[in-house]
Structure 1
């Protein structure tokens, strides 16, 4: 096929030898199958912010560090330069997460290179050597559902032990490779310790897994791995090989009304500041 414009620079630099076909086009990127020195890989081409439908919500970008103070100020002001740097930070977040998680033994596509907004990584394949399908395109027996659910819950634990919460985990961003599930799409990954929304996101990730596999194995719908995992994490006793039960006893405590009101006031102040910045722009 004709080489897409965004991939031409990689061809010129010798990072790829050719483009075979487009694999998919999503809300934030296009993915192409490419040839690299006799190997088949994939190239994820990030769409520009104006062409994407996925919002870089403040929940995801909270506490992401920017080493350059000038860039940080520009991003806070929302200037054109700042928006460009925010876009770069959004893209590099997935690259950083992939390298970090691969090093922690989490099953994610192996990253190879990141060049001018294009991420080169492993092409995940099924048993027939074709591009692996997403979970939502596959039917499972109850036994398979239990097995894959257990595998993915353990992957969530490994991610959390590495300090990362996926933040958008579901059957739509997990591939079923020949050797089991592979987690993809990580630009919205958050710092488990530094993001105030990390717990909510982890519980949602685990709930998504439960609800999907619960279609095939209804007994899973009674499990509560999310709260169990987070409780161990908060106590500092979570390990990559933690043995989980899927059961959790919730403690009924008096509601901290003052704390709730502080959260509401903080959210109102943040919204007012955001609106003011928009008016100034």
Structure 2
């Protein structure tokens, strides 16, 4: 295959020997299988801003830190103090997130290098050595669906314990590799503590994967891990290995009987006054004359 222009600098630097094939074209990047020495790896070439289909980036960039505070403020103002463009910052998020989540034990592709806007990472394969399929391509048994759903909920917890929310998690961003599900695509990842959309994004992530797996195990549709996990996170009780139930106990508020009786009495008095007014209005001599 002819080497794409964006990968040529990596070939010149000796980071890539050859491009084997195009793997896919996503909403924010093109993926290629490349050979690096004796290994096959995945090269992610980010698309230019005007060619990306990813929307609502402001929901994700809020609260992000790019290096130190001074550099972050300079980037936000786009002043000369920052040499990093918004596009560079967007790309670097995935690099930083992959490194951070690897340390937390989250199952993601192993990061190798990032050069000239191209991310080199592990090529996820199945037990036969073929490129791992995405979850949305699979038909699962109920037992498999429950197992994979439980595993991914655990991964979401690990990410949140590291302060990270994927932000676009679904069956399209999970590969089924030889060692189990692998989560991919992190350029839109957010910092939970500094993003006002964090709770909404976490709930959407969990809703997406639950909706998919409930096609095969319908009982999963009645779980509410999102509310449970966020509640534990807010109260600083979320940790790896936390015992989740998928259900949130609601505490019914006691009925204030006095208030109810007062409201009923008030309504009854209004109705009585209205009926009395109508009787007096239509039985008065003037009303009869009219």
Q: Match for residue 59 of structure 1?
A: 59
TM-score (norm 1): 0.85
C-alpha distance in 2 between matches for 1:80 and 1:214: 51
CA distance in 1: counterparts of 2:89 and 2:25, whole angstroms: 21
Q: CA deviation at 1:209?
A: 1.2
The ranges of structure 1 where at least 4 consecutive aligned residues each deviate by more than 3 angstroms after the TM superposition are 66-77, 79-84, 250-253
When normalised by structure 2's length, the TM-score is: 0.82
Distance 1:71 1:50 in 2: 23
Q: How many equivalent pairs are there?
A: 252
**Offset at 1:82?**
8.3
1:68-94 Cα distance to aligned partner (Å, 9 max, x none): 7477446436x8998971111100001
Structure 1 residues without counterparts, runs of 5 or longer: 254-281
CA–CA separation in structure 2 for the residues paired with 1:230 and 1:68: 27
1:261-280 correspondence runs (5 A): none
8 Å CA contact retained: 2:65, 2:72: no
Whether 1:243 aligns to 2:243 is yes
Distance 1:68 1:234, change over 3 A: closer
Residue ranges of structure 2 left out of the alignment (5+ in a row): 254-290
Q: What is the CA RMSD across the aligned residues, in angstroms?
A: 2.1
1:60 is paired with a residue whose SS is: helix
1:170 is matched with which residue?
Answer: 170
The residue that corresponds to 1:264 in the other structure is none
Counterparts of 1:1-281 in structure 2, within 5 Å, are: 1-55=1-55, 57-66=57-66, 67=68, 69=70, 72-73=73-74, 75-76=76-77, 85-250=85-250
CA-to-partner distance for each residue in 1:193-226, whole Å, 9 max, x for gaps? 1111111111111111111000000011111111
Give the SS at the match of 2:193.
Answer: coil
- How far the C-alpha of 1:29 sits from its partner, in A, is 0.3
Measure the CA separation in 1 of the matches of 2:148 and 2:230: 21
